[in-house]
Structure 1
Amino acid sequence: MLEWRKISRLKKRYHFGASNGGWKYDSYPELESLDAGKTMTIAEIKGPAVITNFHSTQHFIQDPEITKEQRKGLSLRGLILEIYFNNNPIPSVRVPLGDFFADGCLGRAEHFTSFFIEKAPQSYNCFIPMPFEKSARVVLVNETKYDLMNYSFVEFENLESWDENLGYFHATWKRFAFQLDGNTNIQFFHVNGKGHLIGRSYSISTDELLFRDFTYVMEGNNEIRIDGEDNPRVDYLGTEDSFGFSWGFQKVFNGLFNGINYVNLRKPTLLSIYRFRGNNTIGFNKSLDLRINWTNERLFKSFQKSLSRKVSKDRCWIDYATTYYWYQSTVGYDHEKLMPLNERIKLISKSNLDTK
């Protein structure tokens, strides 16, 4: 991916720049800080240019009146990363900060480095290139009641001209719970327009005893339909394989393009995974649709009967928090409405232990 000629070749002109945000305690007291209920601007950049790096501190809430897990949840999902291009009022990126960096299961992910994002000690870094023609605005929205200490910066490079073939980066987040059995076939992601998908990250949690070790959860055909076609263009025969793994999610592995950066196979059952694409992006001209379909699992017929009995008793709930990353020819996306903050920060949004 890193071509030595491009790294070593000297340029006629250098157009590198950077913009700071948050840390008003040093040379720039005029910087906006990440105060409770406020939106903090990190960068406003005129185009044409390309964002090459986004860095943010991790955050720590000190409040003895709430649990450690609540403090962690607020610091990860109470802060929303938004990126706007070309003065569009609709953000192209709207994702809770921790989920954008695949720090799944409320910050339990181990430190990892991928080609595009990383969780470093006490910080996050994003290396996804984000070109734009007219303008870019990068902000953090603090939806908590706490003033938080933050230092963020955005690095960018000005372009001499705009290339119409460049796409605009987008990312979106969705959290939802559903009952999983042999009849489950759910749309996970859909986008209209022209572009290509470069990655996804999932944070999955459940306290259903039948799903220990992610039994059956790891199955499900990952069906990708392009431009409205009836049959899937790509049909990965198992979720674990679609992320680059086999025989379930056995242990932590952090690769450059795919990883399991956290897994707990017992109670509660928790998983944080990511999969990115470099030269093998999935392109679309009109639309892309991704579904996970558990209806064809022939090896699990008897197990599916057990699931159906449990479903009738309001069991077999599983919780997915999903982030998708892609480029598109236009700017803005119709993001799912974020659930209320007190629900967003729960480790498991729908418990199976509340039922009998």
Structure 2
Amino acid sequence: DFFGLGNGFANSYQSALFSASTQHNNQMCYDENGRSRHVGTALNCYAPMPFRKRAVVELINESEEPHQKWFYIDYETFEDGWDDELGYFHAEFRRANPFGGWGGDLAINTAEVDIPCKERFAWTNNYVILETRGRGQYIGCNLSVANLCGGWWGEGDDMIWVDGYKWPPDLHGTGSEDYLGHAWGMQPNAFWRNGSSVFEGHTGGYRGAGGYQTSYVFHLENPIYFRREIKVTIEAGHGNHLRNDYSSTAYWYAAEPVPVKAPPPVRQRRPVLRDANGVWLIDPESQCPGPEVRLTHEILAASPAVAEALQPAKSVTLEVPRLPARLPLGSVRRALGAKKAQSIRANGRVLGRVRLGVSGDRLALVAEVRDRKPKRVEPNFWEGSAVELFVAPGANAMPGQVVFLPASGKRRGEARLYRQASRLVDAPGVEWEIRTMAGGYSLITLVPFAILGVEAGRGTFLVEVALTVPGAKGVVWRGGIASAATQAWNSARRFARATVSGSGA
């Protein structure tokens, strides 16, 4: 992290203060089981570090394995003594894993997260890159994100206060990528004063499934001076709504040596890993969570769409029957035939009916969809014909998702599995079939709870079934069991609560 590479990644890049070179670009120094692996990398720092009498450089090995290091240090001495215009170089690492955002399951750039982040709310809740006292100059930072929420992580303004609180702050930017010297998101560019030392798009994610990003910015020709204190912060999403893993290293010069914040224990500095499908492997014992962000009554009153999004959906409770444990796919329709169907509507129009059941460690679904001419739209399948099944163990969990696409023209029907916005490439198979019926098509499926991220045998879980039916002139009808169509379908807050009943005999 000190050398500008976060989340345990090796990569080659060059900047004014740091550079790195490796034959193993965009590779993590850990395997998916958390075992460290050797990824040889040259790490170089060119930041001047003035000292009056002596300098000590220590590398402390806190791992359980020996490490060989080759190092080279250049220094020069001055005959005319210390210059009072010089300062002592400082660097400080911080981490919030995860950041305590108030709505990490809500989509960015929507009315559901659009709150005013200002005054004391911003001062108290923004992610803190640096907070220190004394006289000096801030010269920049690197910022690393493990994008647990998926989508775009950077809708957050930088806010820097010099010599105490005031509103507006002394420097107030317009978005994370703008502060980091890029625009319309981050790009795979590493420039002299700003850029991406690790680009998310080269780590298996970007604007969809989340990956890893490290960005940096240096204030060299434009240092930020402070006389008494400084607080450098950035929003984590709109008004701090995201719950990603943030870490940073701040760099500054101080007139006199000052304490730096102690880094977390070594286990809490390890990166969040992913499995072969790109699904995040959350280890609670390795987390060092940031403070929880709480919205005030004044903010909620000024943001009705946010207040409405944070409320549970209309109370929908489903009694889901327990079916025979080894029910074959061909018997699902008959087993659920007499059970109550849930009607799904959009703007008063009936899109179809669905029935749910539990067969052992699988969720059974029968959907009858009023879609006479199924249509496939790529890459945005939700603009065409689709049945989407979402299941989560609780309101704060990212749901598992299965998308069923009916045959259209020469294209065969398809089932797609998703977890945490990542499309799974080697997940266990789902049993399913789609048949035409009068006025539309029907879907029958058995989905293992395991691939949905839900423990089999649970008596309750959260579920949503969304139907998408394209109409004339580009109109798309979309609705679910418990909620109207929103842009935040990854939010389990709006799902129905399913209670499993019966013996399954």
Q: Normalised by the shorter chain, which TM-score bucket?
A: 0.5 to 0.7
Cα offset, 1:294, TM superposition: 6.4
2:55 paired residue number: 136
Give the distance between the partners of 2:234 and 2:220, measured in 1 at CA. Answer: 23
2:297 paired residue number: none
Larger radius of gyration: 2
Runs of 4+ in structure 1 off by over 4 angstroms are 294-297, 348-356
2:216 paired residue number: 274
1:115 paired residue number: 16
Give the distance between the partners of 1:325 and 1:248, measured in 2 at CA. Answer: 24
Superposed, which structure 2 residues align to 1:123-202 within 5 Å? 123-160=42-79, 161-176=81-96, 177-180=98-101, 181=103, 182=113, 185-188=125-128, 189-202=130-143
Cα offset, 1:149, TM superposition: 1.1
SS where residue 69 of structure 2 aligns? coil
Cα offset, 1:204, TM superposition: 0.3
SS where residue 74 of structure 2 aligns? strand
Cα offset, 1:333, TM superposition: 1.6
Superposed, which structure 2 residues align to 1:153-302 within 5 Å? 153-160=72-79, 161-176=81-96, 177-180=98-101, 181=103, 182=113, 185-188=125-128, 189-208=130-149, 211-212=150-151, 214=152, 217-231=153-167, 232-249=169-186, 251-262=187-198, 263-264=200-201, 265=206, 266-293=208-235
Give the distance between the partners of 2:265 and 2:215, measured in 1 at CA. Answer: 24
Give the distance between the partners of 1:150 and 1:123, measured in 2 at CA. Answer: 10
Q: Deviations over 1:25-83 (max 9, x none)?
A: xxxxxxxxxxxxxxxxxxxxxxxxxxxxxxxxxxxxxxxxxxxxxxxxxxxxxxxxxxx
- TM-score, L = length of structure 1: 0.61
Contact kept? 2:158, 2:234, Cα under 8 Å = yes
Q: Deviations over 1:334-353 (max 9, x none)?
A: 313x3232232132666956
Q: Does 1:340 find its partner at 2:242?
A: no
Cα offset, 1:278, TM superposition: 1.6
- Which structure is higher in RCO with an 8 Å CA cutoff and minimum separation 6? 1
SS where residue 217 of structure 2 aligns? strand
Cα offset, 1:178, TM superposition: 1.5
Distance 1:219 1:133, change over 3 A: same
Count matched residues. 234
Give the distance between the partners of 1:346 and 1:220, measured in 2 at CA. Answer: 22
Q: Does 1:328 find its partner at 2:254?
A: yes
Contact kept? 1:106, 1:347, Cα under 8 Å = no
Give the distance between the partners of 1:134 and 1:285, measured in 2 at CA. Answer: 25
The one-letter code of the counterpart of 1:105 is: N
Which segments of 5 or more consecutive residues in structure 2 lack a partner in the other structure?
A: 23-40, 104-112, 118-124, 274-285, 288-396, 399-419, 421-452, 455-491, 493-505
Distance 1:296 1:187, change over 3 A: closer
2:5 paired residue number: 103
SS where residue 152 of structure 1 aligns? coil
Contact kept? 2:154, 2:236, Cα under 8 Å = no
What fraction of aligned residue pairs are identical, expressed as a percent? 27
Cα offset, 1:295, TM superposition: 8.7
Cα offset, 1:187, TM superposition: 4.4
The one-letter code of the counterpart of 1:321 is: S
Cα offset, 1:274, TM superposition: 0.6
Contact kept? 2:138, 2:252, Cα under 8 Å = yes
The one-letter code of the counterpart of 1:347 is: V
Give the distance between the partners of 2:178 and 2:245, measured in 1 at CA. Answer: 20
Distance 1:253 1:225, change over 3 A: same
Bigger mean CA offset, 254-263 vs 341-350: 341-350
Cα offset, 1:218, TM superposition: 1.0
The one-letter code of the counterpart of 1:270 is: Y
RMSD: 2.4
The one-letter code of the counterpart of 1:125 is: N
Distance 1:138 1:205, change over 3 A: same
Contact kept? 2:154, 2:177, Cα under 8 Å = yes
Give the distance between the partners of 1:101 and 1:295, measured in 2 at CA. Answer: 26
